[in-house]
Structure 1
Amino acid sequence: MKNNVLLYIFSTDIQDFESQKIAIQEYVKKNNIIIHDTIEEYGVSGYKTALKDREGLQKLMTMAMNEELETLIVFNSDRIGRRTELISFMSVMEEYKVKVISVTEGLLNNNNDDASELMQFIKFWTAKKESQKTSLRTKNGKKAKVEKTGFCGGSPNFGYKLDDKNNFVIDEDESRIVKFLFDSYIKYGTTKTIELLEKNKMYGRYKNWNQRKISNIRTNPIYIGKKQYKGELLDFPQFRIISDEVFQKAQDRAKARNTRGETRYTNRTNILFEGLLYHKCDDGVERKLHIDYVNNSSGKTHTYRCKHCGKNKSSMLKNYNSKRIEPILINEIKSQMKNLSIEGLENAYNEEIGKNKSIIEKDINIVENNINKKQKAINNAEREIEKILCGDSEGSIDIFTKIIDRCQSEIEELNQILQEHKKDLDALKNSTSKAVLLLNKYKNFEYVFDNVDNKEKKLILQELIYKIVIDKDKISIQWNLY
């Protein structure tokens, strides 16, 4: 299927952004054109950026050679580029019969003759000279504006907007979604967070949620008032939506998910709950309890201590005597083990596996389709080089070599991703619920636990439990069953 595509090239000028967008949308509506895709390039200098480095134009050339492009609509011819080498881009559009329409100038490749090519050259050359004049005026102003306002053009991040004066500000509705997203991710992870966002119809500007969107928001420092600009992390406290602690907890959760389900044995001491016991501090953060040894009248014993609460002189209980807390924990574990149902755990396990399989199979399909498209682009680029060598085309070999190199590199990367997805899929297909294995192994948990020494008790607890969190007078056990 051939597509009609809009091409937006935005500077950091907000007025330019709006006027270009409005003009193109009005043109499309007036002429009843159905648009299938939109390609946007932000902060690209048509004067400084070579065609081989223009990702948007490279994508359009690839689409043209794949015979996926019918019409390209731009605001003005200088939006395609201000370098005379971009005549090569127009040559590819003509070769593959792609109509290039300028909202302000009409059809740019009306006639495939010398006069048409000359007019294209003159337009690009004139735009190049005009760009040289404006470049010096805008260079220093751009960085100063970013440092002052935190906005460097394009669409504002999710959670932010442009106000009536085109200032970059927090969007109250979307910022509430951001806070909910971080809180939910820390508690439940990505899959459950997507479900909750969809269930509560929390979309903001998005039509739906996926893993990539969650990840993009979770890892972006803009939400703690920091913004990347040319390799430098600038501070903008007025843009903070969440605290540093919440942001860090989300990153820690992501790291923890990489090892969840694996048994992590910690045996530096003979203490029963070493490495398993956590404490929810008054700031809401779960922190691992450290072990302190204490000498008293009954001999040497130990306590579980929260360093954070001790350091900050919290009013919360921060030291747990082992002789008091360990019997409570053991009774709670025994009670929950009695009530754990293999059937219930199996249903939860199978549901989780099914969702993950569906996601991976979809990802595999997407990757394979992308590999096929890249290979098709390589084949077409090689044919273009052959035409140039035979004297049948005046295009640039460098441009098509760049396309081939880029596509080959992308295919190599996609193949690695494909193999990883297939390994993950095989692992899921061959996986067996740890719930069945462990619960069958410890179906008489209380008897088994009470009739082994302290070292064996410790190994059993670490095999079954991911962590135990003490929150005031409440104990939460996170099982390591799957």
Structure 2
Amino acid sequence: MKRVWCLFRVSKKQQVSTDDDIPMQKNACHEFVKNKPDWIITNELYEKGVSGWKKTVDERDEMAALKEGALNKEFDVLLVFMFDRLGRREDETPVMVNFLVQNAIEVWSVKEGQRKIESHIDKLLNYISFWQSDGESQKTSIRVKEAKKQLSEQGYFQGGPAPIGYKIVETAERHWKNRERRVKELVPDENEAQLIKLIYKLYVENHMGYRKIADYLNENGYRNREGKVFMVSTIQRILSNSIYVGLKKYKNAKGGIQPFNEKLRIIPDELFSQAEQIRNNRSSSIKEQDKFDIPRAGKLLFSGLAYCKYCSSKLTSNYLYRKSKCNNKERYYKNTIYRYKCPLNKGNLYGNHQQNIWGGKKFDTLIMNKIKFILSQFELKSFLDAGQNTKIDLLKIKERNISNLEKEYVALIKQHEKLNLEIGKALIGESSFTAEQLSGAINAIEKQMEEKLSQLNMVKEGLEKERENFSDVNYLANELVNWERKFNEADEDLKKAMLSRIINKVYLGKNVIEIELNILLSDYFEGNFN
């Protein structure tokens, strides 16, 4: 008697029956064995919710059991409903079949008969068969993704939890797939929407960072839906989610966005744009190794913005204590003196360092006087014109980047076409490469193409956004109107935030103060003031 092992597999757990079985495949295999008098089923292997395309052979436990059973001579026949139940990867599944056959195991399918490797033609047919299965899996994946993409593009709710600020409600519309169900949609939740507005206000108007907003909410008794404290990552996601202006994102390689839906709006466009500008500015600062875009630590007004003129190092906050006599001349009090200090000069004025310590109170006053003098020459209309010219230059740079990325993408397409032509030669033995080698190369090129296309689309979207949005120029212009009055009325944190918006760095030297304005103001004033 031939000992038969059966393998049953479904890709999704929803396909498994309520009896924790895979009835259709099992029944077909049992009926097939009834017509083989010398066969007897001695073992059944189940793979429930396992993709034969996404998972490799090494990632599937039942494949390991098959290999071990074949090596130990525990069975004589492997039976599956169809060969794609064994796997759908053209670079691995034929190898598994070869392994079984070489270990004296017959490989059978209820629908396709026996799979052999006795001749070169058999091997070629094996490869072509699993290559087709691989292709069908890719097509299925593409169809499913495209269907979800189209539904998302049309604004349909695709399931999952509601983002913070929203709740899920049923509509009167019947579901397009199941007529017994109702279509669901997102609508703002009144209580959570107020929380979203507060978070944006704290970020834009109060210039609080993610951590400070989370601390503020938690200290004032706010909690998330699960009754837990707010995490920094939650605040970060909220401040970057365009759903709050009616543009819901959905998951795809291009970062798709559903059609504009005014019903989803919680905050105005201008507020979201201002938050986005702040995030981009801070992100750029981090990439440039300046992690204190809006400095908060220290008693000095320009902590995080002050740099040494001689070595370009960021100055640290430094302080010392001095004893001073009280009015009665018998008691002393301790006075704290804050200073800026260059960290690369430990007290010895070597090289070009002509000074390494600057008194905080004195130089804060000197710097502020220079800033107020600069801003006294500010004129709104001409600044807006200059800012728009700067924007135009930035747009040209992005356009050049897009052109370069498109050339790189076209080059990858040509490589992909050449490799596909070589596959045909490999199948008839006219190529110096094996089909497996070419398949690996094609997969690598396809991955590069996907990454390049995603990068290209992101840059294009950024370009379109830049073309449509000049809010950063307008926002800074609004900040500069009556700036000195706003500054004088602000608390210490807000003063530092306001300063960081108009200047990038302040360089201190011996009797020298150099102020580096941000790019928009720098272009407007034609360079730095010394």
Could you state the TM-score of these two structures normalised by the residue count of structure 2? Answer: 0.37
Whose Rg is larger? 2
Could you state the TM-score of these two structures normalised by the residue count of structure 1? Answer: 0.40
Higher relative contact order (CA 8 A, sep 6+): 1
More helix by share: 1
